[in-house]
Chains A and B, each alone.
Chain A
Amino acid sequence: MIFTSYSYVYFLAAAYVLHWSIPGAWRKPFLIGASYVFYCTWNWHYGFLLLGLSLFNWAFGRWMGRREDNARLLWLGIGANLVPLLYYKYTHFLLDSGCSIIRMTGLPCDLQVPPILLPLGISFFTFQGMAYLVDVAAGEVPFQRLKDFLLYKAFWPQLIAGPIIRPGEIRAQILSRRILSYDDVSIGCRRILAGAIKKVVLADTLAPFVDQVFAAGAAPHMVDGVVGTLAFGLQIYFDFSAYSDIAIGTARLFGYVFPENFAWPYRATSPQEFWNRWHMTLSRWIKDYVFTPLFFTFRTRPRLAPLWLAAAMAICGFWHGARWTFVLWGLWHGMLLVVSQTLLRGFFPESGVVGTAGRRLRRVAGAVVTLVAVNAGWILFRAPSVRDAARVARSILTCEGGLHPALLRENAILVVVLMFLGLLVVQIGEGPIRRRLASVPAYPRVERWVRPIAVSLLILAVIVFDKSARAFVYFQF
C-alpha cells in the first residue's frame, strides 16, 4: 500500500475514524493490528518475519536489561537482527562477489541461486531493532509491555522507510495516552498534503526523465547526463522527503510526533551540513551506532578518525543496497566529509556563521561546491551498475555531444531546470518571506482567506497530476 494510493487514503481514513472512536485502552492494539494489515497487504508471509523479529527484540531487550554484563549479549542480539537482513538483502551480492574472486584465481564458479524477494522495509526495521538493543545495553529502560514494543516497532508510518526512530524519541508518547487534538489534525493534514504534492506533482514528473538517462545501456550526451543527474537529485529529495512528510503527518493524526528527516538539504554549505539536513535520522544512526563506537574503540589512535568516517559512510551506502554503486556512493560521501574536515577545512564555513561579505561569499561558494559534489554522488546512487555510472560521468566530463542532448527532449530539460531554480528560490526565499509576511499586520486576516483556496488548489493538483500510485524510491531499500 503506497502512501499516495487511493487504497492508502481509504485505509488512513478508516483507521483514523476507528482509532478515535474506540475506547482508549484498545487504541494501541488497534494501531498494531492496522500496522500489520498495512504491512501484509504487500506480502503477508513477511508479516511473520516482522512479528518474529519484534518478539525476539522485545524479549531479548527485557532479558538483557536485567543483566549487569550485557556487552556479549548485545553482539548476540545484533547478530540475530542481522541474519535476516544478510540473507534477504545480501545473499546474492556476497555469493556473486565471492564467485568473482574465485574466478579471478582461475577456478570455475557458477552459482545458481534462486531470486530472493526482499521484505519491504527490512533495512529500516532491522536498524531500528539493533538501535533498540544498543540503547538498552547502554542503560535505556526496555519496553516492559509487549504491546508498547510492538507499536514502537510496527507503527506503519515509519515501518517501510523511516524516519528511523530511537526508543527514547517515542517512548513517552507510546507509554502515555494520545489525545485527539485539532493542532495534530491540522499539522498532520498539511504534512500529508505537502508530501502528496512533492511525490505526485514533482517527483513522479521527474521520474521518466531520470529513467531515460540512467537506463542500462543508454548512451547519454553531456546535456542528458547533467540534466538527468540534476533531475535525480531533485526526484530523490522530493520523493523521500514526501514519504517522510506523509509518515510524519500520518503519525501526527494519531497523536504521535516523529522526528524530522529533512531540513532543506540542498541549502547545505558543507558536506557535513548536508548530512545534518539529509535523511537526518539515518545519519544520526550511522553517527551514533557505527562511527562513534568505531572511534571510541580506537580512541587511542585519533588519527584514524577519517578512516572510520569513510568506513561508516561506506556502511551507510551498503545499507542502501547490495551493489557496488552504493558502496562507492558511501565512500564518495565519506571522502567528501573527510576532505571537508581536513584538507579543505578552511574553505567550508562553520554552519550557522553569518556576518561579513567575505563570510557570505564563503557560504555561497561552500553551498555551490556541496551541491555539485552531492549531485555528482547521485550518479553512483542511481546508475544500475558501475559501468553505467562511468558512462554518465564520462559523457559529462568529456562534454559529449556538446549542447545537443541525445535522450532528453527540450521539455524535459525545461522542466528540470525550472524545478531546480524553483527549489533554489524557495530555499533561499522561504525564511525571509515568512519573516516579512509575519510582520505585515493584515497577514493573519488575508491568510485566513487565502489558505483554504491554496489548500483546495493543491488537492486539485494532486488529483489531476496523479496517474497511478508509483512506488517511492526508498521502498527498494
Chain B
Amino acid sequence: MMPKARGAARGELGAGSRTEPVSFWSRLFRGSIPWVVLLFCLANLLAVRWQTALHRERAANLLTNPERAEPGGFRYDWSVGEDLGRSWPRLAEMAEADFIVLCGMSQMYAINEQRPSDETISERMDDALSPEGTRVIGLAAPNLDNEESLLLLLSSCVEFPHPPTTFLYGVCFDKMRNVGVRPGYSAFLRERPNLLRAWRETALESAAEYSKASAQMLATLEGATAPAADDRSVEGRLRQGTARLLPLVAARGDLNAQAQLGLFFARNWVFRIKPASKRPMLQGRYDLNVEFLRIMSEVAADRGVALCLYVVPLNPRAENPYVAEQYGAFKQWIEGFCRQHAVPFADLDDVVPSEAWGTFMGGPDYKHFKGEGHRVTADALLRVFGPVIRLSTRGDGAR
C-alpha cells in the first residue's frame, strides 16, 4: 500500500522512478530538459531581436507604414490585406463623399525603385478626381483572387456609409490560379455581421447558377466563423496572452512567413524555377474564378455600382509565365463577357512602356512597375473609364 499522508505523497516526488534508485529531480536536471528550456529561452531572445529588426525594416517600407508622411494620411489599405479592419475607419472617412474603389493585386501598390514623390495608381487617380468631389480608395492585396475581390466589392457596398459609385477591378490572368480568402480578409468578414449576412445571402442566391462558387463562399463563411478562428474565444485569448509572455509565440506569424519564403526560394533553386517559368492554367480553379467574376457583375448591378474590368498591364520586355494560347483565350473570353453584360472593359496589357518597369530576381519584373508605370496606368484608367466614373457619380444611369 502507498502512504496516504500529504507528506508521504510529497515524498513520492523524490522517491524517484520505479526502475532506478536515482531521484526524479536528479534525473530531470541531468537530462535534456534543462538544455531544452535554455535553448527555448535563447530562441525567445533571438526572436525579440529578429522581430525588432523586422519592424524597423517595415517602418521604412512604404507599403505597410500607416503613418506615412502625407497630410491626408493613407488612401489605400496599407496592410495590403493583412489587417483590413485597421485601415477601414480611415478609408470610411474618405467614403463619406462619392467614391470609387480600385481593386487588384500587388501591382496596385508595389513601386519598384521607389522615389519619395512616387504614388500608387489609386493615389494618382484620387489626386485627379478629388477636385471633382470623387475620392478613390485602393483595396489591393498580393495575389488577390476573384473571391477576394467579390468580398471587397461586398464590403465596399455594405460597410462604407454608402456604396461606391464605381468598382474598378484589375483582372490578372495568373490570379485565376488562386482560390480562397486570406486570413486578414477572413477576420474582416468575421467581425462584421452585415457583411456576413450579405456574404451568406449572395452565396445562397448564387447556388443555383454558380454552384462551385456558392459552395466555396459557404466554406469561407464556415472558416471565418469557426470558434478556433475567433480571437475573443478562450483559445484566442490564451494565444494572445501567451504571445505577450513569449516573444517566439508573438513572432510566429512573421516566422511562418519567413519559413514559407525560405521554402519558396529552396523550391526555386532546386527546380530552377524563374519568374518566367510557365504556369499553366488550372481548369477547376479557373472555372471557379470565372464564376466569381460573374457573381461580381450581378452583385454590382443589383447594388447600383458601375463595375469596370481591365486586364492589368504587363512588361512588354519581360517574358511572362503564361501559356500564350491560354492567355489569349482568357482575354478573348473576358472581353466577350464584358460586352455581353455591358460591363465597361479595357485591355491595358501593353499600356505601360518597357522603361517604366523594374527588376525582380535578376531580370525584368513582368508585373510590377516604377512610379512612372503607376502614373501611366492611372492616366489610362482615367482616360478609358473616366466617362463612366463621372456618369455614375452624377447618377445618370451608368450604373
Is B234 interfacial (CB 8 A cutoff)? yes
Q: Which chain B residues lie closer than 8 Å to A25 at the CB level?
A: 4
Q: How many Å lie between the Cα of A24 and that of B13 in the bound state? A: 11
* B39–A453 CB distance below 8 A: yes
* A23–B6 CB distance below 8 A: yes
Write out, one digit per residue, whether chain B residues 1-20 have a CB within 8 A of any chain A CB (1) or not (0): 01111101100110111111
Nearest-Cβ distance from residue A19 to partner chain B, whole angstroms: 11
Is A84 interfacial (CB 8 A cutoff)? no
A-B contact count (CB 8 A): 130
Name the CB-closest residue of A to B270: A414
Nearest-Cβ distance from residue A174 to partner chain B, whole angstroms: 14
Is A105 interfacial (CB 8 A cutoff)? no
Is A217 interfacial (CB 8 A cutoff)? yes
Query: With A179-B18, A460-B248, A470-B228 given, is the CB distance from A10 to B238 under 8 Å?
Result: yes
Write out, one digit per residue, whether chain B residues 225-253 have a CB within 8 A of any chain A CB (1) or not (0): 01011000011001100100000110010
Q: Which chain A residues lie closer than 8 Å to B216 at the CB level?
A: 215
Q: Which chain A residues lie closer than 8 Å to B16 at the CB level?
A: 181-182
Nearest-Cβ distance from residue A382 to partner chain B, whole angstroms: 16
B 305-353 contacts with A by CB, 8 A? none
Is A442 interfacial (CB 8 A cutoff)? no
* B285–A407 CB distance below 8 A: yes
* B9–A459 CB distance below 8 A: no
Write out, one digit per residue, whether chain A residues 441-461 have a CB within 8 A of any chain B CB (1) or not (0): 000000010011101100110
Nearest-Cβ distance from residue B12 to partner chain A, whole angstroms: 6
Name the CB-closest residue of A to B242: A6
* A405–B5 CB distance below 8 A: no
Is A468 interfacial (CB 8 A cutoff)? yes
Is A364 interfacial (CB 8 A cutoff)? no
Is A22 interfacial (CB 8 A cutoff)? yes
Is A343 interfacial (CB 8 A cutoff)? no
* B215–A216 CB distance below 8 A: yes
Query: With A6-B235, A451-B32 given, is the CB distance from A404 to B43 under 8 Å?
Result: no
Nearest-Cβ distance from residue A26 to partner chain B, whole angstroms: 9
Is B267 interfacial (CB 8 A cutoff)? yes
* B13–A224 CB distance below 8 A: no
- Point out which of B15, B27, B228, B282 has the most chain A C-beta atoms below 10 A from its C-beta: B282
* B212–A217 CB distance below 8 A: yes
- When the two chains form the complex, which single residue of A186, A215, A469 contacts B228, counting CB atoms closer than 8 Å? A469
A 362-407 contacts with B by CB, 8 A? 401, 404-407
* A464–B234 CB distance below 8 A: no
Query: With A180-B13, A186-B31, A463-B248 given, is the CB distance from A406 to B285 under 8 Å?
Result: yes
Q: Which chain A residues lie closer than 8 Å to B18 at the CB level?
A: 179, 181
- When the two chains form the complex, which single residue of B15, B215, B228 contacts A468, counting CB atoms closer than 8 Å? B228
- Point out which of A177, A180, A184, A220 has the most chain B C-beta atoms below 10 A from its C-beta: A180
Q: Which chain A residues lie closer than 8 Å to B179 at the CB level?
A: 212
* A411–B238 CB distance below 8 A: no
Is A279 interfacial (CB 8 A cutoff)? no
* B36–A408 CB distance below 8 A: no
* B19–A7 CB distance below 8 A: no
Query: With A181-B17, A182-B28, A218-B284 given, is the CB distance from A459 to B36 under 8 Å?
Result: yes
Q: Which chain A residues lie closer than 8 Å to B276 at the CB level?
A: none
* A215–B219 CB distance below 8 A: yes
Q: Which chain A residues lie closer than 8 Å to B31 at the CB level?
A: 182, 186
Q: How many Å lie between the Cα of A463 and that of B254 in the bound state? A: 12
Is B94 interfacial (CB 8 A cutoff)? no
Is A40 interfacial (CB 8 A cutoff)? no
Is B259 interfacial (CB 8 A cutoff)? yes
Chain A contacts to B: CB under 8 angstroms = 2, 5-7, 10, 20, 22-25, 177, 179-186, 189, 208, 211-212, 215-221, 224, 401, 404-411, 414, 448, 451-453, 455-456, 459-460, 463-471
16 A-B residue pairs with Cβ-Cβ distance under 8 Å, sorted by A, are A24-B2, A180-B15, A181-B18, A181-B24, A182-B17, A211-B219, A216-B215, A220-B284, A407-B285, A408-B282, A409-B285, A451-B32, A452-B35, A456-B36, A460-B248, A464-B252
Closest A-B pairs by Cβ, 10 of them = A452-B35, A406-B284, A177-B2, A456-B39, A181-B17, A182-B27, A406-B283, A407-B284, A6-B238, A468-B228
